[in-house]
Amino acid sequence: MSTQDLWINSPFLSLVITGVIALLVEGARKNASLSGAITQLGLIVAIALAIFTFWETAPSFSNMVQTGGYANYFTLLFLVSALLTVILSKPYLERTRWHRGEFYLLIIFATSGMILMASALDLIVLFLGLELMSVSLYVLAGFARTKLISNESGLKYFLLGAFATGFLLYGIALIYGTAGTTNLPAIAEQFTRLADNTLFLIGVGMLIVSFSFKVAAVPFHMWAPDVYQGAPTTVTAFMSTGAKAAAFAAFVSVFLRTFEFSGARVNEALAYSAAASMILGNVIAIAQTNLKRLLAYSSIAHAGYMLVGLAAANNEGQTGILFYLSAYTAMNLGAFGIISLMEQEGDKNLTFDDYAGLSSRRPFVAALMAVFMFSLAGIPPFAGFFGKYYVFLAAVKADMTWLAVIGVLTSVVSVYYYLRLVVTMYFRDGEADLPAQPTKLALAVLCLAALVVLQLGLFPSTILDITQRFF
């Protein structure tokens, strides 16, 4: 370990130090607001360090961890997602009477695990990152521990997540047994020899199962609707953006940057999973009345869209996934952020009917929600449109036109349920009891998310020019 290793890994290390400091302060003072302030400061410092070290691309810690470029891109995505979640969480937790300092510690350690997943050059480091993230999210999902639905959410996520972890470990064991190493660059060097090895392919299949569970792709999506509905709303926002991005970071690292299965059966399996996710997620979302469950099925569908880029296994697919994840993080955090501002104690204001007439009582909030819904539906000139365009383009270039056609058709289906909320807000009268006006800081966060959605929609090259340098 050298000083250079410490410097280029400073975003991760500074975040872990922040977590330790917040843990000690919380143990001594039991002050949730102070823990929240320390967390915000630590995340801002980590973001600054990630920007400073962005172009210092190099392996570190004996070729176990990758830094700069690809790793820092995702690091920034996770850190920004965590920071916005923390800012939105304070008023939400105070209103629902669950404002505890432990919440912020769990967010820090979950984010640390995400960074490890994106930076991993070794399957063991990847496993450590995934478990650090997952264990923190299990607790966060059941954070409102006196609520039955929250307990159910945490328990389901834990049991199914532990099952998926078993697949990951068995997969790593089989890959190690055939390759003699868990180091990803070393596996890539002997990939030609390993590609026809049955045990190696079984190990790869087990990795697909584990990653598919984390991104909530069909047929490993069963946990998502119940967990998203039962978890505190800001936790759901964090899980649906940061955790999904971390799983896709691992997916891309292993299946596009290490294994070269282009045109093989592995890619066909990913393509079928993508198609099933797009169809099931969008069709079942039509029947939902609870907004958190609707966005859960929407999340399954969006996982399918991003899997299209993964199945294509070309440069367009890789850059498309990275662009899509940035856009999806902004629009989903914004949508869940508004739901958290509207929600009241007792799970009130979570249905379509509760949003009726919102445009007349909270015109600015309704306008922001409309922006996020338009973007999620893939309507130009918002970021969601270009996210879908780039992954569908990748599928066409990979001779998977059928997959792109399914993607376009299911996107048309999704317009119904996204615009249904907009119609409810603007063209129906309602008398739901609304909480107090949101804080200026919370509104600033939502405005920032909306600006990112517009910026990436009008100038997609902002992200593409950067991501294309990684591949």
The pTM of the full predicted model, rounded to 2 decimals, is 0.93
Q: Among the listed ranges 224-233, 295-304, 346-355, which one has the minimum average pLDDT value?
A: 346-355
Q: Evaluate if residue 262 carries a pLDDT over 60.
A: no
pLDDT digits (tens, 9 = 90+) for 130-183: 999 999 999 999 888 888 888 888 899 998 888 889 999 999 999 999 988 999
Beta bridge partners of 351: 290
Higher pLDDT, 58 or 39: 39
Range 376-394 average pLDDT: 91
Range 308-336 average pLDDT: 91
Q: Evaluate if residue 286 carries a pLDDT over 90.
A: yes
pLDDT digits (tens, 9 = 90+) for 83-101: 999 999 988 888 888 888 8
Q: State the pLDDT at residue 100.
A: 86
Q: Evaluate if residue 238 carries a pLDDT over 70.
A: yes
Q: What is the mean pLDDT of the chain?
A: 89
Please tell me which of 3-7, 309-313, 372-376 the model is most confident about, judged by mean pLDDT: 372-376
Q: Evaluate if residue 437 carries a pLDDT over 70.
A: yes
Please tell me which of 59-68, 222-231, 401-410, 459-468 the model is most confident about, judged by mean pLDDT: 401-410
362 pLDDT tier (thresholds 50, 70, 90): confident
Q: Evaluate if residue 71 carries a pLDDT over 60.
A: yes
Q: Evaluate if residue 447 carries a pLDDT over 90.
A: yes
Q: Evaluate if residue 256 carries a pLDDT over 60.
A: yes
Range 110-126 average pLDDT: 93
Share of the chain above pLDDT 70, in %: 97
Q: Evaluate if residue 433 carries a pLDDT over 90.
A: no
124 pLDDT tier (thresholds 50, 70, 90): very high
Q: State the pLDDT at residue 408.
A: 94
Q: State the pLDDT at residue 351.
A: 86
470 pLDDT tier (thresholds 50, 70, 90): low
Range 14-33 average pLDDT: 89
